[in-house]
Amino acid sequence: APFRRQHGSNLVIVGQQEETALGMLTTAIVSLVAQMAPAESARFYIVDGREANAPTTGPLARLPEVLPSMVRLAGWRDAPAIMAELTAEIERRQKDTGAAPALYLVLFGVQRLRDLRRQEDDFGFMRKGDGAPNPAQQFATLLREGSVLGVHTLMWCDTLNNLQRTLDRSSMKELTMKVVFQMNVTDSSNLIDSPLASKLGLHRALFFNEEDGRLDKFRPYGLPSESWLVDVQERWARRAEARESVALP
Q: Write the pLDDT tens digit of every residue in 126-161.
A: 444 556 799 999 999 999 999 999 999 999 999 999
d(CA 100, CA 42): 9
The region, left, alpha or beta by phi > 0 then psi within -120 to 50, assigned to residue 204 is beta
pLDDT tens digits along 22-75: 999 999 999 999 998 767 789 999 999 999 999 999 999 999 999 988 999 999
63, 26 contact by CB (below 8 A): yes
Q: What is the pLDDT of residue 130?
A: 59
Quote the crossing angle between the two packed helices 79-95 and 135-145, to the nearest 10°. 40
Range list of H helices, the chain: 18-34, 59-66, 79-95, 135-145, 160-166, 169-172, 185-192, 226-247
Q: Are strands 214-218 and 151-157 parallel, antiparallel or unpaired?
A: unpaired
Q: For a pLDDT cut of 70, what percent of the chain falls above it?
A: 92
